[in-house]
Amino acid sequence: MSKILIWNEYLHEVENKSVANYYPNGIHGCIKEFLSQDSTLNIETATLREENNGITEDKIKDCDVLIWWGHKAHDEVLEATVNRVQKRVLEGMGLLILHSGHHSKIFKRLMGTNCNLTWREYGEKERLWICNPGHPICEGLDAYFELEMEEMYGEPFQVPSPDETLFTSWFEGGETFRSGLLYKRGNGKIFYFRPGHEAYPTYLDKNVQKVILNAVKYLKPSKKIWEDIHSPTPKSNRPKPIEPISKKGFSVGHPTEE
């Protein structure tokens, strides 16, 4: 069993009837529904305006993969939430960042760059080409798949060079975009997947659902977490010398000892 947590900003669906038509139970509800067909997944959800943004220490501590959708209220995400998620990613939790999550605090925190891109909300066709048909995240896909209406995202996408580029997109209006990027930070695998604007029924698409299910399996940590990862100065971080040596010079001391 894997434990999956789907986080959603959950504002557009509440405030806009057209969005709610596509996602009556929220984008998180829609994703939960199609992932639930896989009986090895234990799925929970959380949303922005719950206490602690819905992400308590308890809820995340044994989470295998966190899915993140946010758009217009990135600033409402608490620093404590970002810290909590980053901590778990470094330990090994997988993180799937969807669409406008490219500007979320947690993605920018993990990337170290501004994660900017160009965009146009015009309901245009997106065609996603598979750059590595042999990758587990691309399993079951054809050479490409199409979404009839999507928001355009264009280069330059200002992120560090990824470990691997799995998709590149072609947009009806003429742009291209690197739309599936893999990273590792600490022991956590991170996948950025471009599609999913709230104004279109993207998460009802069978290929998008396939990618998300594949990603959730791929991002799962392969090992129990490494617990010592966070402490800047556990005892084991000031080890005794192994070779016989004598102290030279004077000591100033480390700030963490003071």
Which residues between 39 and 68 bind its own copies (CB under 8 A)?
A: none
Here the tokens at position 90 are 């470094």
206 touching its own copies, by CB under 8 A: no
Q: Which is nearer to its own copies, 16 or 52 (CB)?
A: 16
Q: How far, in Å, CA of 191 to CA of 203, rounded?
A: 17
Q: Which is nearer to its own copies, 135 or 210 (CB)?
A: 135
Stretch that binds its own copies, among 26-34, 45-53, 54-62, 174-182 (CB under 8 A): 174-182
156 touching its own copies, by CB under 8 A: yes
Site map (CB under 8 A) of its own copies, residues 221-250, x = contact: -xx-xx-xxxxxx--xxxxxxxx-x-xxxx
CA atoms within 13 A on the CB side of 243: 2
Q: Which is nearer to its own copies, 35 or 199 (CB)?
A: 199
Q: Which is nearer to its own copies, 51 or 240 (CB)?
A: 240
The dihedral built from the CA positions of residue 251, 254, 255 and 258, taken in this order, carries a sign that is negative
State the number of binding residues for its own copies (CB under 8 A): 102
Contact residue for its own copies among 63, 117, 212, 215 (CB under 8 A): 117
Q: How far, in Å, CA of 134 to CA of 152, rounded?
A: 27
Q: Residue holding tokens 């970002």?
A: 82
Pairing status of strand 188-193 against strand 176-185? antiparallel
Q: Residue holding tokens 């016989």?
A: 244
Closest residue by Cα to residue 187 from 66, 253, 88, 97? 88
Minimum CB separation of residue 20 from its own copies in Å reads 12
